[in-house]
Amino acid sequence: MTKTQRVCLNEIVCYFDELEDPRSTINQKHPLASVVVVAMLAVLAGAGGPTAIAKWAKLKAEFLLQVLDLPNGIPRKDVFRRVLSLLKPDAFQRCFASWLQALRDQAAEATGVDKPILAVDGKTARRSHDGNKGLGALHAVSVWASEFGLSLGQVACAEKSNEITAIPELLRLVDIKGTIITIDAMGTQKAIAAQIFDSKADYVLALKGNQETLHQEVIDYIDEQCKDDFATVKARRHITQEKGHGREEIRSYIQMPVPEDLRGLELWKGLTSIGTATLVCIRDGKETVETRYYVSSLPVSVKLFAHAVRSHWGIENSCHWSLDMTYREDESRIRNPHIRENFAWLNRFTLSLLKQHPGKDSIAMKRRACGWSDEFLAEVLAGVTL
């Protein structure tokens, strides 16, 4: 054990000192903070449930007993299962707040980004349902800081349709001041737009059928302005072109001030501009075209608008894809409501830690290395190469 490893673990344990212990005091052998830290380390190293956590901890007993307060040895799997089932997910998530803020500050300094894009989207753990007990699959809405590679918070809801009520709760959990919030069409709601604007943040919200009137009005207005190539409005256009993986992608973004006579404009707090993003994809000689429409509180600055639209897909490509392919979250059979929600958060938080590590290996390789090397595990916790 190195001095760096001990200092690193001591600092991390402090984040969980204020977490209220939900267990009975009778026969309580293992400090709560140590149990939580072991669980988090095991998830970093590849564990996918309480049994795997206990197995990893047993194999790493020599290391863990030196760096953590474990007066009665390594906890058994029932201890991890009981703790993760008793901890209320919102309280569990809150104890990571100080650590997340430190990671966020470091990422902002490293990237120079002072107005980050925060993408809000939901994901379902498809095999976490239990029909016999009437338990639907876990659907969690989370916030992903695209430029930072950080998951800043999550709120679980019963199903995708309940994202409308989960999103406001999620936005209250995260400091969004000075950011740009991007949400797909499900979250394009007047109350959500007002909450974002009142929090001194900006929004870029996608339009679809759930806002049928507004969606059609924006389409009609932009189509009308297209006829004279936007000669009478202060529209701005930005085009990007990329080639790779056997395809060519051309993205065209157009942004313009919101028309003053837009029906219901006064109901959308902060609404300043509208825009469109068109993707032309050419693969094997076949061309597909997809166009999306947006409302935004951003002033006309088409490169910023384009950056926000493109960054939104970071939550799919960098977060959700990793959770499915590396963490195998879609295959998880955890069906205890609290355990599956707490595990979903551990997956997202440890993914964020792996994203902060400066090494160039894939997330999958970094995760394996956490299981192989105590030194590399300490590097990931510290966010540096030691």
Q: Which domains does the chain have, with CATH numbers?
A: 3-87+341-382 (no CATH), 98-321 (3.90.350)
pLDDT value of residue 157: 82
Task: Choose the weakest-confidence range: 26-35, 154-163, 227-236, 301-310.
Answer: 154-163
Q: What is the mean pLDDT of residues 173-194?
A: 95
For residue 6, pLDDT beyond 70: no
d(C-alpha 357, C-alpha 359), whole Å: 6
Confidence of residue 184 (pLDDT cuts 50, 70, 90): very high
Please identify which residue in the block is written with the tokens 């003053």: 260
The CA-atom distances, in angstroms, between 283 and each of 197, 226, 287 are 40, 27, 7
Highest mean pLDDT among 1-10, 156-165, 173-182: 173-182
pLDDT in tens, 237-279: 999 999 887 889 999 999 999 999 998 899 999 999 999 999 9
Q: What is the mean pLDDT of residues 176-193?
A: 95
Please identify which residue in the block is written with the tokens 């072991």: 38
pLDDT value of residue 285: 85
Q: Which residues contact 90 (CB under 8 A, 6 or more apart)?
A: none
pTM of the model: 0.92
Confidence of residue 9 (pLDDT cuts 50, 70, 90): confident
The rounded Cα 111 to chain-centroid distance in angstroms is 18
Strands 202-207, 180-183: pairing is parallel
pLDDT value of residue 385: 58
Task: Choose the weakest-confidence range: 47-51, 204-208, 333-337.
Answer: 333-337
pLDDT value of residue 368: 96
For residue 131, pLDDT beyond 80: no
Confidence of residue 198 (pLDDT cuts 50, 70, 90): very high
pLDDT value of residue 244: 83
